[in-house]
Amino acid sequence: MTTATPELLTVPEVMARLRFSRSKVYDLIRSKRLASFTEGRCRRIPESALREYIRAQLEGGS
């Protein structure tokens, strides 16, 4: 039995997927509109958090 681990994205990967600047991605993280965590100096964004952010935007969120 295998369990799928959630894909973790780097800030540059999120920037490329959303076509946003680095500062815009960090603004989303700071404002808690995009969930993330740090381990040491590495910031990671779960792919599910990115999907949730996109879904909220499509539903008319700010």
The reported pLDDT for the residue numbered 17 is 97
- Residue 23's SS3 state is helix
At 4-52, the pLDDT tens digits run 666 999 999 999 999 999 999 999 999 999 999 999 999 999 999 999 9
Q: Where are the domains of the chain?
A: 8-58
Q: How far apart are CA 27 and CA 57, in angstroms?
A: 15
User: Among 55, 17, 41, 22, which Cα is nearest to 9's?
Assistant: 17
Strand 37-39 versus strand 8-9 pairing type: unpaired
pTM of the model: 0.84
